[in-house]
Chains A and B, each alone.
Chain A
Amino acid sequence: MTHKTKAVLLLGIPTAYLVLLFILPIISLIVLSFWKTESYHLVYEWNIQNYVTVLTEGAYLTFLIRSIVVSVIVSVLATAIGWIAAYAIWTYGGRFRLLLALAFAVPFFTGEVLRVIALQGLLGPVGLINGTLMKWGFAPVRALMYSNVASGIGLFYLYLPIAVTVIYLSLLNLDRRLIDAAKIFGAGGFRSFIEITFPLNLVGTLIAFALCFIPCMSATLSPRFLGGPNGTLYGMAMAQQFGESGTWALGAAMGVILFLFSLLAVVLIASCLDLRRTGFTGFGRN
């Protein structure tokens, strides 16, 4: 086999796989979003009514804005705490580094439903925190019971592990001796972090942020089982169109908007980013 045939095969097969099972479904979603659903039936009639509904009806806009606010707060917090945790492991972990890093993976690999169940055990009205408070004779913290705060904590809990893992993996690829060099040339601990460590891990940081932000935007579980009656988030509302409401086309339009939103966020971040300034030197061996 020539180099070219191999290239076509090895890159073409996965590409075809992704086109069939990833791109095509997203196109279907887009197509569906321009049709109509009436009483659990599809009406094949091109229109943009779904988009008008989502973008003008107060409830959906509220969900969208609320989702954005919650997602930004949660992702910023998760990225910040993720940095501290990953940096602490990387710097002080010594020979336990691997163990400490893997410990973050346990919750990540225990599915979301089961973790939401665990969180209910922690935060619920008779959960660990409030149960203990009541046992000691204190009033339970209402903010933790079926509220936006609880739903936010849930999202933070769900996506913190991925933030830590991504930032840690990024740190692993950092040459520590560059920090030594910075110190030799007069940079103190904090200064060398700002000058060297952070910029060289900026890509990892942004990926960590994105991998928190995107699932937060579309979260269905945390707001549903931990959030309160005023805690409906966009993703949850979208999922309802496919479940209880049976308004698939509207749901599809919501999905397209969510997709565009994620895309916009990624493109925006990527366009602000000068890869050269993050020490990027190209893929693979050159």
Chain B
Amino acid sequence: MYISLEGISKRYAAVTAVDEVDIAIGKTEFVSLLGPSGSGKTTLLRIIAGLERPTTGRVLIDGVDVTDLPPHKRGIAMVFQEFLLFPHRTVRENLAFPLRMQQLSKEEIASRVAWAAGILSLEGLEDRYPNQLSGGQQQRVALGRGLVAHPKVLLLDEPLANLDRELRQEMEVEIRRYQMQLGIPFIYVTHNQEEAMSMSDRIAVVSKGRIEDFAERSEVYDHPKTAFIAQFVGRSSHFNGTVSAVSSEGASVDISGVKLHVSRNANLKAGQRVVVFVKNEKVQLEARTDTARANSIDCRIKDIILRGAYAEYILDAPALGAELVATRPRSETVFTAGQEVRAFWSGDAPDIFPADKAA
């Protein structure tokens, strides 16, 4: 692998920010470190950058152990959440900075800066100072400064967090494109699952300094490995219950008297307490009928939130003593608030985890 972290830990006095992390990243991979704030993902990135020294473990880039190397000898580049453009330098000088440090020729610097300004539509802004630029423009300069360096790896620390939604989605597409163009690994730290989903090849979900899972993005979304991932990735409702029976086809779960069938059994034992997660978009709705249906619950629509092409139904399920949410395309039957409906899902929709490991 092109980049490996081996047994990386970082402890500050009593706090363990990063706990025994092992990750290997390929040469052309786009990897996201996804986790809530305080999970240790930024510390991990700073360890790769050389801005923090790990308490234990090694960092290898391109086969070289760089654990003891200061940042400037690692041949990396980084895009920061706060941009961190040099305020006393123009856009051109900011872009040229890493190239000057690499002692490239004037011609080479000029052509690479022109290239970056071109692809990032910064032409005409080269002689401005950072504070004369809009947030989006500053972000592009920060990205450009990372790209022109032709680093061994580009580290991105929540680079889109300070941009508004529309701009963010635009940039997601662009960032992914540059990664493929340059053919270098990007390591992207974010707490925003949509960003991680839209760009990454693989996602490492970080929680409490540990890697919960490191897998293909669809795998992380569709088959969460832990309760934490099930809760953190995607939007879902969850219920506490007890396994009532286990068979080769799955398990039956009893949730305050309501029987549900789960076709994944995840090594469950009868009598075990569990948490069941159902992703909002996997919850379907229909008008009440007398025909019986497996995995269905009678609900009343409490509220409807419109999200463009989708409608989010907030459902009150008295039998469960809980609320659940169904996200449906608006092209489907439209229900109204207050209506009595039936929510149902297929047997393979829920993710189920032992309760003691629930987040």
Contact = CB atoms under 8 A, between A and B. Distances in A.
Interface string B200-237: 00000000000000000000000000000000000000
Interface string A208-246: 000000000000000000000000000000000000000
Interface string B44-86: 0000011100000000000000000011100111101010101
Contacts of A187: 72, 97, 101
Contacts of B50: 183-184
A191 interface: yes
Contacts of A175: 84
Contact of A181 (B84, B102, B131): B84
Interface string A248-282: 00000000000000000000000000001111011
A200 B77 contact: no
A52 interface: no
Contacts of A186: 72, 75, 98, 101-102, 149
B129 interface: yes
Interface string A52-93: 000000000000000000000000000000000000000000
B80 A185 contact: no
Contacts of A191: 72, 101
A279 B49 contact: no
A74 B80 CA distance: 42
At the interface, is chain A mostly helix, strand, loop or mixed? helix
A257 B86 CA distance: 41
Contacts of B51: 180, 183-184
A185 B77 contact: yes
Contacts of B71: 180, 183-184
Interface string A172-203: 00010110111111111101100110011000
Interface residues of A, number: 25
Given A186-B72, A187-B101, A181 B78 contact: yes
A276 B98 CA distance: 21
Given A184-B77, A191-B101, A276 B129 contact: yes
Contact of B131 (A178, A199, A281): A281
Contacts of A195: 86, 97
B49 A278 contact: no
- How big is chain B's contact interface, by range? 20 to 34
A188 B71 CA distance: 8
Nearest to B155: A184
Interface string B144-166: 01000100000100000000000
A279 B86 CA distance: 8
B145 A185 contact: yes
A200 B78 contact: no
Contact of B72 (A184, A199, A276, A277): A184
A120 B155 CA distance: 59
A118 B80 CA distance: 51
B80 A181 contact: yes
Contacts of A196: 86
B101 to A, nearest CB: 3
A281 B87 contact: yes
B88 interface: yes
A272 to B, nearest CB: 15
B80 A199 contact: no
A129 to B, nearest CB: 42
B87 A200 contact: yes
Contact of B97 (A182, A199, A277): A182
Interface string B100-117: 011000000000000000
Nearest to A276: B129
Interface centre among B75, B82, B84, B88 (most CB of A within 10 A): B88
B304 to A, nearest CB: 41
A183 B80 contact: no
Interface in B243-302: none
A282 B132 CA distance: 11
A195 B129 CA distance: 16
A131 B149 CA distance: 62
A279 B84 contact: no
B288 to A, nearest CB: 58
Max chain B CB contacts within 10 Å: which of A182, A186, A199, A277? A186
- Chain A to chain B: the 7 pairs with minimum beta-carbon distance, closest first: A186-B101, A279-B87, A185-B98, A279-B88, A183-B71, A181-B84, A184-B78
8 contacts: A180-B84, A181-B78, A181-B86, A182-B86, A185-B98, A185-B101, A186-B101, A196-B86
Given A184-B77, A188-B70, 5 more contacts: A180-B84, A184-B49, A186-B72, A187-B97, A281-B131
